Amino acid sequence: MKMESSLWLVPLMIALAASWSSTAVVQGQLKNGFYSSSCPKAEAIVRSAVESAFKDDPSIAPGLLRLHFHDCFVQGCDGSVLISGPNAERSAPQNLGIRGFEVIDAAKTQLEASCPGVVSCADILALAARDSVDLSNGPSWAVPTGRRDGRVSSASQAAVLPSPLDSIAAQRQKFAAKGLDDHDLVTLAGAHTIGQTECRFMSYRLYNFTATGNADPTISQSFLAQLQTLCPRNGNGLKKIPLDRDSHGNFDTSFFKNVKAGNGVLESDQRLWDDANTRRIVENYAGTIRGLFGFRFDFEFSKAMIKMSGVEVKTGRDGEIRKVCSRVN
C-alpha cells in the first residue's frame, strides 16, 4: 500500500527533472563551471569562506542571500552593491542593514591569492547566496558563472528595490522590470523563511495603521498580540524579530503557511495573500501533504534564483574583474 501511494509522485518528479534540465540552459554568456580551468577551486574557496562565517554566526546566511538579491535588482548582478562610498548603492536608505560584506571580502582575498584577476565579485555573491541557502537546510543548485563586475554604483538607483511597504502592484511592477513574473515574486519572497527584520520596518502595522488607532486588519489577532509584545509602542526600533515565526533558521515552507494564516511579519509579504494570482502560488507552497510541497518549493526556489542571478549581467568585455570588491580598479 505504501508503494502504491508513492507511485503517483513519479510523474511529478520526472516533470520536475525535465524542467530542471531546461533551467540549466545558460543565460547570456554565463555557464556552469565557468572557472573549471581558470580557477578550479573557485567555488570551494567561496564555500569555505561562507561556512566559516556561518559557523560563527548562522544569521549571516540570510544576510548574504539578501545582499545578492539587492545587487541584482540595481543595475543587474554586477557586484555594484559591494562598492563603498558616500554615494554608492550600499549607502542608500533602501540598503539599510544589509550585511555580509566581510564574507565576500574574505573569499575575494583568498581567490586573488590563488587565481589573481580571474573571479568576479559578482560571481562570489551568487555563489555565496547559494551556499547560504544550502547551509540553512535549503536546496543547492549549480550556479552559472562568468559575470563581470560593474564600474558604477549609485545610491539614487537603489529606488528600484522592493520595499516592505510595497503593494502587490508595486512589487509586480518592480519584478516585471527585471523580467521576473508573479511566480518568481512569490517564490523569491520565500527567502524570508530565514532571517530577521527590525521592529522599525513593521511596527507601523501594529499601531494606528488605519489612522483610527487600529492595527493592520490582515494580521491575525493571536499573532498581533505576539508582535505587540515583541515590538511595543515607542519601543526599540532596532530590536530584531524573526521573519518566519516558526523556524527562522531553517529554510522550509513555513513562511507560506504563516502568510496564509495572517502571520506574515512584513506588510509586503502579507500582501501576497491579497491578490488572487499570488495567493494561489502561496497556497501551493503552503500545502499540507508532508514532504511534497517542501520538495517543490526547494526546486522552484533554485530555478527562480538562477533566473534572478542572470538579470542584466555583464559578460565578455563588459565591466571588469575587481581586485578588491569594495572599489573599482
**Active centre residues (catalytic):** 70
Tell whether residue 74 is among the known ligand binding residues.
yes
Residue 252 assigned ligand-binding role: yes
Q: Which helix (H) or strand (E) holds 238?
A: none
| Ligand-binding site membership of 5 (annotated) | no
- Grid coordinates representing 56 are 560563527
Q: Across-strand partners of 148?
A: 314
- Selection from 96, 268, 301 nearest residue 170 by Cα: 268
Spell out a b/e string for 30-61, using b for 16 or more CB atoms within 10 Å of the CB, else e. bbeebbeeebeebbebbbebbeebbeeeebbb
All three cell numbers of 119, joined, read: 573571479
Report whether 192 belongs to an annotated binding site.
yes
| Burial bucket for residue 29 (CB in 10 Å: 0-12, 13-18, 19+) | middle
Instruction: Name the residue among 65, 177, 82, 62 with its Cα closest to residue 122.
Output: 82
- Is 71 annotated as ligand-binding? yes
Q: Is 24 strand, coil or helix?
A: coil
Residue 193 annotated as binding site: yes
Residue 164 assigned as binding residue? no
Cell numbers linked to 40: 578550479
Alpha-carbon gap, residue 25 to 279, rounded angstroms: 29
With H, G, I as helix, E, B as strand and everything else as coil, classify residue 214.
coil
Cell of 52: 566559516
Confirm whether residue 40 is marked as ligand binding.
no
Is 131 within any annotated ligand binding site? no
DSSP states of 126-183: HHHHHHHHHHTT-------B--BB-S---GGGGGGS--TT--HHHHHHHHHTTT--HH
Annotation-wise, does 269 bind a ligand? no
Helices (H), the chain: 2-7, 9-23, 42-56, 60-73, 101-114, 121-135, 168-176, 182-189, 221-230, 254-260, 267-270, 276-285, 292-308
- Residue list for the binding site for substrate: 162
- Residue list for the binding site for heme b: 192
- Residue list for the binding site: 71, 74, 76, 78, 80, 89, 162, 192-193, 244, 252
- Residue list for the binding site for Ca(2+): 71, 74, 76, 78, 80, 89, 193, 244, 252
